Amino acid sequence: MKSESLIELCHVSKSFGATHAVDDVSLTIERGAIYVLLGASGCGKTTVLRLIAGLETPDRGEIWLNGERVAGQGAWVPPEVRRIGMVFQDYALFPHMTVRQNIQFALAALDGKLSHAERDRRARQMLELVGLAGYAERFPHQLSGGEQQRVALARALAPNPSVVLLDEPFSNLDAALRRTMREDVRQVLRASNATAIFVTHDQEEALSLADTVVIMHNGKVQQVGAPQEVYLRPISREVAAFLGEANFIEGVAEGDVAHCALGKLPLAVPMHGKVALMIRPEALRVTASAEGNAEVIGIRFFGHDQLLRLRFPDLTELDVRTWGNAELALGERVMVSVRSSVMAYAN
């Protein structure tokens, strides 16, 4: 046995012609946790899922599932034997079958040993889990997008798979439904103790869903960590910028502090020499003050909050997120301070 983890990818690569879709990826998936693969379009997220499912074969490297090598070094376990559940953005429910029949079909395909009564019981149990107990006899066209997605999840979880792979499962839903579905699906996965791997290019979705975020770029894994860790301590400027809004200002680091236009700031990770300091807009605090150290030169209003563009005497500019009702006007002087330690990257 390679290890106790559920899935291990060891130096896995996969190319399509000249495109290195997945490039030397090593990744460990622990049981019972929710993972989210996050990255820009084309960075290789879906290919990683397909490799785990057995829908692609790696060019190099090994894949282990439940302590068994399923790909690499001459080993090959076909997808139908891997016991992996999949949910895609288009739901792919059979339109001519009822909700119950859709779920029972998945059970029959994956576990022919179950009796009809057992399949029926399991389908009902799954529909209860996803909050659709009264919907068993409806057809897919009689369901909303969110309900169809929940049926797709019930179908994927019904055969009790070792892992569920979800590729952009919410991308067809409107913004409000997306948020509710995210929370619902998270609860269902928790209740069923499932291990799940989501793919998304939506930062907010990744941070709010995941126990562990895996950030990919150009076929490579850049950083793996808890949402707070990757957001507050991104490993590089690129990861910082990809995960959300970020100000970068020049500074000089001296161990656990840095000097910059904002004064002396504590560093999250000690550094020395010339650096670029990364400060999230919401990590800054402003108060109107005639003796302030910056001037408001732009205001972008979003309702729940607003972004102020500030300019310092040395012409450094940065964005600050404040409550949308903050009474600050263009040209006003403000005092700016930093609420937390900041990250620094060699410049």
CA 313 – CA 43 distance, rounded (Å) = 40
Quick one: 45 or 321, whose CB is closer to ligand ATP? 45
Please identify, using beta-carbon distances, which residue of 25 and 277 lies nearer to ligand ATP: 25
Long-range contacts made by residues 116-122, C-beta under 8 angstroms, separation at least 24? 122/158
Q: Which two tokens stand for residue 345?
A: 């990257």
By beta-carbon proximity to ligand ATP, the closer residue of 38 and 106 is 38
HEC readout, 294-340: EEEEEEEECCCEEEEEEECCCCCEEEEEEECCCCCCCCCEEEEEECC
- Minimum distance, C-beta of residue 39 to ligand ATP, in the bound complex (Å): 6
Min dist CB 327 to ligand ATP, Å, is: 42
| Least distance to ligand ATP, CB of residue 250, Å | 33
Stretch that binds ligand ATP, among 15-23, 267-275, 305-313, 327-335 (CB under 6 A): 15-23
Stretch of 14-22, 88-96, 98-106, 187-195 contacting ligand ATP, by CB under 6 A: 14-22
Q: Which is nearer to ligand ATP, 178 or 201 (CB)?
A: 201
Tokens representing residue 347 in the block: 């410049």
Member of 4, 11, 16, 57 binding ligand ATP (CB under 6 A): 16
In this structure, are residues 294 and 312 in contact, taking their beta carbons and an 8 Å threshold?
yes
Residue 33, classed as helix, strand or coil, is: coil
Closest CB to ligand ATP among residues 42, 263: 42
Establish if 169 lies at the interface with ligand ATP (CB under 6 A). no
- Strand, helix or coil at 85? strand
The smaller minimum CB distance to ligand ATP, of residues 147 and 167, is found at 167
Using CB under 6 A as the binding rule, the residues of this chain from 28 to 57 that contact ligand ATP are: 39, 41-47
Structural tokens at position 135: 């919907």
**Which tokens hold the place of 304?**
């729940």
Q: How far is the CB of 276 from ligand ATP (least distance, A)?
A: 27
Nearer Cβ to ligand ATP, position 47 or 101? 47
For residue 169, give both structure tokens. 């499962």
In the complex, least distance from residue 284 CB atom to ligand ATP, rounded to whole angstroms: 32
Question: Residues in contact with ligand ATP, total (CB under 6 A)?
Answer: 12
Provide the β-strand partners of residue 321: 307
19 binds ligand ATP (CB under 6 A): yes
d(CA 26, CA 51): 12
In the complex, minimum distance from the CB of residue 67 to ligand ATP, in angstroms, rounded to a whole number: 26
Question: How many residues does the structure list for the chain?
Answer: 347
Q: With respect to ligand ATP, which residue has the nearer C-beta, 144 or 218? A: 218
In the complex, least distance from residue 50 CB atom to ligand ATP, rounded to whole angstroms: 7
Q: For residues 182-211, which are near ligand ATP according to CB under 6 A? A: 201
**Interface pick for ligand ATP out of 7, 10, 21, 127 (rule CB under 6 A):** 21
Structure tokens at 6: 């559920």
Distance, CA of 204 to CA of 198 (rounded, Å) = 13
Longest dimension (CA), the chain: 78
Q: At what angle do helices 145-157 and 175-191 cross, to 10 degrees?
A: 20
> Contact positions toward ligand ATP, by CB under 6 A?
16, 19, 21, 39, 41-47, 201
